[in-house]
Structure 1
């Protein structure tokens, strides 16, 4: 079943079932679909056709869900944008993807006012929640466009599994973002896998708290709709609002990052709400300690599932769901497995291999790289054949993550081959930050690593050697980075050194900086 049949199926089976709750707006599937059809009509009237790229810059909102489904029905390639990126970073992505149209939330108007110069390929700018006057002929109001269209489904469109559905941009190790191509087949396979693994049904209420521009949450757009469940949307994370909404909307499952969960369980009023509707609390995007897992289960009174995945894999590669025989283990043993990275996802084949490509022993001691294959794995990177060939070899995607594996098939990530830092669920590559630091006129050498942080899981830390005769303060360096990078990529701390530690071969010894 192609992606453009999921919403019509939900309308046939559950027309009056509540589908979307977004602030004060509540829609059943029939009403939600009507808005999607109107958006399809508006986009078609603009001349957008199969294969064209449509970008979205928005907080969590029903608009994001409508954009995902409208793109799927027209065969457009959706480009979700991280609103935390700088204007220059956004401009690069829009240019690289060749996006023809952008749906943007009014609150980002000042942030992206220079986009016409940075991304001249954008032919149409569609504003939501606009509180300002339009300044160009190619600007339109989202609600006005929908109001001018009939609520009729678009003409049938033949879609194949290999057709590209989404382009998600990830930070490149050289600072150049890479567009991860996900096909209709990738998205469909992952949706079915999550329905099977998590036993998702029309009784489920999914909570969109993690950003919809990120696959940690976006996958649920299709899986929940396929099952006929309810989407409950929160624009931005707020611990108290999340807890209140879980009770009010009878949330059954969601996927959050450890930083969010830590703030929730430490919220002073956490004990004031009813969490009896919760089936699963999923977490991913950063390491999590077993003690935190224990607190989540005891506080929220639900089962916990650790997840691990990549943008390149739609995203899930593993879940820490317990196999049947492990559920009879004592609670402490069960907790040990729940806190692991997890066992392979239902439609993924996962191996942990050494440098020779041989499987490491399943003894939780031998370390190897995780490699995977399956229907959820990307065909490659947008217009980057060399990077694609480097990542996917002999049909296997090499993740760059180092792990051990136990005799039950559960893996635990112990390190990353590349110097990627996961801070608050966002990926930051040290090379990208270092490249900015080296642009500072007073800096001679720089190295960036991730250090443990109780709030963010990891924090970005820079070690800097000033040029001879120059002086620079840590606050100045952080401010300099903020001019060129998204805030979450900027160092939280800077340490000034006379020299950086090096290995025998002369390379910077980052392990020594972390210790």
Structure 2
């Protein structure tokens, strides 16, 4: 594309193109380890870990992996919450040219078996609590080594002594693993391995750093191949976007899990690249988060709308100081305007919506943080060196401004492809454009708008209905804390609109009142025909509401009703 109207809106501080560092991703840890040796890299439940210790520990892990026969291109899985071991393992794997496979600790045996078998991982590092789950699936995978660690391993005294008793009380077990055979203890690795420099033949554009599995909403999860070039370019774009932030001076809230690409890039990779401090939260709850913000004074807080909503509606919010927060980029779901305004009023910082997907490492489009603030409803404009357009069903030519089609993206952060799935990779691209699966449009200035996921669009009585539009209206209602809108089966309309509602504490509203409210703001065919009030909504690890699981619930209900009728 030669017509990039959004570039005219860029503040002078944001470059239109970036000269990317063509180095291995792990080299940024080497740089920060040398530049900021005594600076805190990670704060974890009362313990500070310096960049010097972080760097040396990652090299120790790398050298130990070499003794196990792990070589360049081998896959090593990380199945950990946000803790120092997760970050150390991530960079240690990269130091030997390995490929990280991020794995959700909540995975069932079936999900874990699939991912380990599909990726061909040779080793996995995980929590002691999960050791039993791993041993049950080893025979169905190519796993040769299991590295075990525990939350207590990086707790300060006396927490490290008390934690095993808490673990036994909460989970009913204390797991003991011996350092022998295919089983290895992280604590022993840190004692016996040496922090020697490691080198290998490196190809910036081709070498894969990460296999990040998609959620599998359209079939089995796919391993997205993200190269060193992909991840470095996206992190340096992010750094350019946050131009008021200073290297080595920021503190980043690490609520988003590293096993999700959003947390991995905006917290882990960006912090290490910039020499900033990470405040790691292994198990998210709002009390812990508010206390950490109050004590650790984070300046950057990547998150998701549901996280910000939960914090703002916490009954003890007024007891905590959130004024340290300078900037937040919200992702994973649409950011309601009412939420943005309220959060900025409470914190004094800036909250903006960003847009992307696993296949774009993940950010491709975002609103400006400080200048030329958000146009209502817009996800923002493309980042430096990133092209975006709206494509029709078959054409490779962009649609005129204002017309709804599929959002397509090009840029250095776009994935290499899907692991061992050349046909699905080919289907995801059209003449070099990555097809996002999201419906949207672009205005004359270059702002992009998401109408909805292509697969979430509701077709009721022939009308195309976009859940996001209805959700925006519902979020503006004073009684609603969270909501999601889905198309559920309907024998007459094909699909009908249903809204799932979580009310704010102490607030109430009836279906009739909501119906009247929606009819004042929406065309009649868009107004929900059904409302369901819930205490909570199903979510992913990063707080994205699982619309699809609610639809599946409705389908199962209908099937049961048909069987009993």
Provide the TM-score with structure 1 as the length reference.
0.79
Which of residues 444, 447, 460 in structure 2 aligns to 1:410? 447
Tell me which residue corresponds to 1:237.
284
Is 389-398 or 165-174 further displaced after alignment? 165-174
1:41 aligns with 2:63: yes
Change (3 A) 1:449 1:382: farther
Change (3 A) 1:367 1:294: same
Tell me which residue corresponds to 2:252.
206
Alignment of 1:389-400 (within 5 A): 389-400=426-437
Displacement of 1:354 in angstroms is: 2.2
Displacement of 1:297 in angstroms is: 1.1
Displacement of 1:5 in angstroms is: 1.5
SS across alignment from 1:32 = helix
Asked if 1 retains the 8 angstrom alpha-carbon contact of 2:128 and 2:177, the reply is no
SS across alignment from 1:84 = coil
Displacement of 1:3 in angstroms is: 1.4
After superposition, what is the alpha-carbon deviation per residue over 1:350-390, rounded to whole angstroms, capped at 9, x for unaligned? 11122333323334xx2111111110000110000000000
Displacement of 1:37 in angstroms is: 1.2
Alignment of 1:167-178 (within 5 A): 167-178=211-222
Tell me which residue corresponds to 1:162.
206
1:494 aligns with 2:538: no
Tell me which residue corresponds to 1:146.
190
Displacement of 1:150 in angstroms is: 1.8
SS across alignment from 1:207 = strand
Tell me which residue corresponds to 1:30.
52
Q: Distance in 2 between matches of 1:388 and 1:174?
A: 14
Tell me which residue corresponds to 1:16.
38
Tell me which residue corresponds to 1:310.
357
Asked if 1 retains the 8 angstrom alpha-carbon contact of 2:351 and 2:369, the reply is no
The alignment's C-alpha RMSD in Å is: 3.1
Displacement of 1:218 in angstroms is: 0.3
1:103 aligns with 2:140: no
Q: Distance in 2 between matches of 1:490 and 1:415?
A: 17
Q: Report which of the two has the higher share of strand.
A: 1
Change (3 A) 1:449 1:3: farther
Displacement of 1:497 in angstroms is: 3.9
Asked if 2 retains the 8 angstrom alpha-carbon contact of 1:341 and 1:412, the reply is yes
Asked if 2 retains the 8 angstrom alpha-carbon contact of 1:53 and 1:79, the reply is yes
Tell me which residue corresponds to 1:134.
177
Asked if 1 retains the 8 angstrom alpha-carbon contact of 2:390 and 2:407, the reply is yes
Asked if 2 retains the 8 angstrom alpha-carbon contact of 1:57 and 1:82, the reply is yes
SS across alignment from 2:26 = helix
Q: Distance in 2 between matches of 1:299 and 1:385?
A: 48
Asked if 2 retains the 8 angstrom alpha-carbon contact of 1:189 and 1:347, the reply is no
Displacement of 1:267 in angstroms is: 0.4
Provide the TM-score with structure 2 as the length reference.
0.72
Tell me which residue corresponds to 2:88.
66
Asked if 2 retains the 8 angstrom alpha-carbon contact of 1:100 and 1:123, the reply is yes
Stretches of structure 1 that go unaligned for 5 or more consecutive residues are: 327-333, 424-429, 435-446, 457-486, 501-515
Asked if 2 retains the 8 angstrom alpha-carbon contact of 1:271 and 1:299, the reply is no
Is 110-119 or 61-70 further displaced after alignment? 110-119
Alignment of 1:345-384 (within 5 A): 345-355=383-393, 356-363=395-402, 366-384=403-421
Displacement of 1:74 in angstroms is: 0.9
Stretches of structure 2 that go unaligned for 5 or more consecutive residues are: 1-22, 152-173, 458-466, 472-485, 504-544
Change (3 A) 1:40 1:450: farther
SS across alignment from 2:342 = helix
Q: Distance in 1 between matches of 2:445 and 2:549?
A: 39
Tell me which residue corresponds to 1:247.
294
Q: Distance in 2 between matches of 1:321 and 1:288?
A: 14
1:53 aligns with 2:75: yes
Change (3 A) 1:320 1:32: same
Which of residues 116, 121, 125 in structure 1 aligns to 2:138? 116
Change (3 A) 1:81 1:451: farther
Q: Distance in 2 between matches of 1:214 and 1:448?
A: 32
Q: Distance in 2 between matches of 1:49 and 1:107?
A: 28
Count of paired positions: 441
Change (3 A) 1:159 1:27: farther
Change (3 A) 1:85 1:132: closer
SS across alignment from 1:158 = coil
After superposition, what is the alpha-carbon deviation per residue over 1:56-97, rounded to whole angstroms, capped at 9, x for unaligned? 111111111112211221110000012232211111110111
Change (3 A) 1:451 1:386: farther
Q: Distance in 2 between matches of 1:58 and 1:141?
A: 14
Q: Distance in 1 between matches of 2:38 and 2:92?
A: 20
Q: Distance in 2 between matches of 1:104 and 1:37?
A: 19
Q: Distance in 2 between matches of 1:126 and 1:351?
A: 45
